[in-house]
């Protein structure tokens, strides 16, 4: 089943919640993981609801009314929660119902998406509200770690100026970038953005800023955005596949982001679909992204459109031209998109075979090129998953802009900050 979600979204739409629901964070509890401290469960329940009465907390978390009162009183004393009056009144007692909500100003975090042509940052409060955003254009394809840190510092400075905040106001920073990332160690094992491998970005950040950095693959950031603010809030299991400069994947199992045993899993773009096939920028051949990513399509576009080797058109310009030619009936251009679509079908069918998710969300800049996502592509994916009678995997298309990726990075920072402040340092 193909569900056509929001197509190209403007930055104005990006600023709001991805759904119209109040609150932020997963709406369903994790059933298999070790339970979080009750204090943290109460806090996260209220944040996910937006507002909640003590009676709702006691009922839904299966605790006594006395426990709900005691825990919320402690969180109010810590200035993490506050009481708010509801709009309606109790008809029998004439009292306004009292609810609880997160104190938004109790903490502020920054989320950053680093990419090839534009870095994006957003500022959020403890309730998950976006307060400010900014971006930084960049022309470098590869850079040193020191240069990347200069760009990050400039981006943070712009964001603070736009928001009226200072570094002292920021409690944590979440950062996503493409590549193979060791989340727990803060090390970039490999990224096409950097000119060297095994770069300790966590240490470089700590040398400049007196705040914790939470680092992860950018596809995981977008997956967190769906889990915290989007369609994934009400899903225990789903996958996100991103297609733009590269091909990425994020996976939620039992309402938690899955990274693999060493934190570097879900590299769908570097799974092999053709032995000794097209050259990937990772240095190996036959990777899925070597047939789907921007640079792969632009590489074939130069041939199909008969562009000379010294043509200085950017990949983006090349792809726009290729897409216009495909719509106009250019056979070679159409063949490139259809071939890419077939490889996408293979990649998606492998995700279904391995993880059996009820939902796969396709996102990224390239989802605007509908030659990749026609019904025939999805039908081929379903045919490849077999056997007959298997429940079909739902496919949704969310072509969010860069702000949503950065907002997912705020979710990573908020999760870690909540663990530190309330859950005594449980891992994100």
Residues with pLDDT less than 50, the chain: 1-17, 87-92, 425-428
What's the total number of domains in the chain? 3
Looking at the fold, whether 302 and 154 belong to one and the same domain comes out as: no
CATH number of residue 137's parent domain: 3.30.420.40
C-alpha 49/C-alpha 60 separation (Å) is: 11
- pLDDT given at position 320: 84
Structure tokens at 260: 């693999």
Looking at the fold, whether 268 and 330 belong to one and the same domain comes out as: yes
- Composition of the chain by helix, strand, coil, percent to 5: 40, 20, 40
- pLDDT given at position 293: 86
Is the link from the previous residue into 387 a cis peptide, with omega within 30 of 0? Answer: yes
On whether residue 90 sits in a domain, the answer given is yes
CATH number of residue 64's parent domain: 1.10.10.10
On whether residue 174 sits in a domain, the answer given is yes
Contacts (Cβ under 8 Å, ≥6 apart) of 180? 188, 189, 190, 191, 217, 264, 267
Contacts (Cβ under 8 Å, ≥6 apart) of 403? 11, 14, 15, 120, 122, 130, 133
Looking at the fold, whether 160 and 175 belong to one and the same domain comes out as: yes
Looking at the fold, whether 303 and 244 belong to one and the same domain comes out as: yes
Region class of 424: left (phi > 0), else alpha (psi between -120 and 50), else beta: left
- pLDDT given at position 96: 62
On whether residue 15 sits in a domain, the answer given is no
- pLDDT given at position 90: 42
Task: Say if strands 213-217 and 170-177 run parallel, antiparallel, or are unpaired.
Answer: parallel
Last residue of a domain, one of 54, 86, 104: 104
On whether residue 82 sits in a domain, the answer given is yes
Last residue of a domain, one of 104, 132, 163: 104
Q: Give the phi and the psi of residue 3 in degrees, each rounded to 5.
A: -105, 115
Looking at the fold, whether 375 and 293 belong to one and the same domain comes out as: yes
Region class of 386: left (phi > 0), else alpha (psi between -120 and 50), else beta: left
Residue among 219, 136, 204 at smallest CA distance from 173: 204
Looking at the fold, whether 58 and 122 belong to one and the same domain comes out as: no
Domain of 41, in residue numbers? 21-104
Mapped onto helix, strand or coil, the DSSP state of residue 417 is helix
Looking at the fold, whether 341 and 368 belong to one and the same domain comes out as: yes
Looking at the fold, whether 99 and 110 belong to one and the same domain comes out as: no
- pLDDT given at position 2: 42
């Amino acid at each position: 089943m193909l569900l056509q979600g929001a197509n190209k979204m403007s930055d104005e739409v990006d600023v709001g919640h991805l759904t119209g629901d109040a609150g932020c964070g997963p709406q369903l509890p994790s059933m298999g993981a070790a339970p979080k401290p009750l204090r943290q469960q109460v806090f996260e329940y209220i944040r996910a609801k937006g507002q909640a009465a003590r009676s709702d907390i006691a009922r839904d978390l299966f605790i006594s009314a006395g426990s709900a009162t005691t825990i919320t009183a402690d969180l109010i004393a810590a200035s993490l929660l506050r009481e708010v009056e509801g709009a309606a009144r109790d008809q029998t007692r004439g009292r306004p119902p009292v609810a609880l909500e997160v104190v938004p100003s109790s903490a502020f975090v920054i989320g950053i998406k680093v990419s090839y042509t534009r870095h994006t940052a957003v500022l959020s409060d403890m309730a998950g509200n976006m307060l400010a955003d900014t971006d930084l254009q960049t022309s470098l394809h590869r850079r040193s770690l020191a240069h990347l840190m200069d760009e990050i510092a400039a981006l943070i400075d712009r964001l603070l100026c736009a928001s009226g905040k200072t570094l002292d106001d920021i409690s944590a920073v979440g950062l996503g970038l493409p590549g193979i990332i060791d989340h727990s160690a803060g090390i970039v094992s490999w990224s096409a953005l950097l000119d060297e491998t095994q770069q300790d970005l966590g240490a470089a950040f700590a040398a400049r800023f007196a705040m914790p950095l939470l680092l992860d693959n950018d596809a995981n950031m977008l997956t967190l955005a769906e889990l915290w603010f989007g369609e994934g809030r009400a899903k225990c299991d789903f996958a996100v596949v991103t297609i733009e400069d590269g091909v990425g994947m994020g996976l939620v199992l039992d309402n938690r982001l899955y990274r693999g045993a060493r934190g570097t899993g879900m590299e769908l773009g570097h799974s092999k679909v053709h032995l000794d096939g097209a050259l990937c920028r990772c240095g190996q051949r036959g990777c899925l992204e070597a047939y789907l990513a921007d640079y792969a399509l632009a590489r074939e576009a130069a041939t199909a459109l008969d562009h000379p080797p010294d043509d200085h058109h950017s990949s983006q310009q090349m792809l726009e031209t290729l897409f216009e030619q495909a719509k106009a009936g250019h056979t070679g251009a159409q063949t490139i998109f259809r071939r890419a679509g077939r490889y996408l079908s293979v990649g998606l069918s492998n995700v279904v075979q391995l993880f059996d998710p009820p939902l796969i969300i396709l996102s990224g800049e390239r989802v605007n090129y509908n030659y990749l996502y026609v019904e025939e592509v999805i039908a081929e994916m379903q045919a490849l998953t077999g056997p007959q009678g298997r429940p079909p995997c739902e496919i949704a298309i969310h072509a969010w802009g860069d702000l949503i990726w950065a907002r997912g990075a705020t979710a990573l920072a908020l999760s870690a900050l909540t663990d530190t402040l309330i859950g005594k340092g449980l891992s994100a």
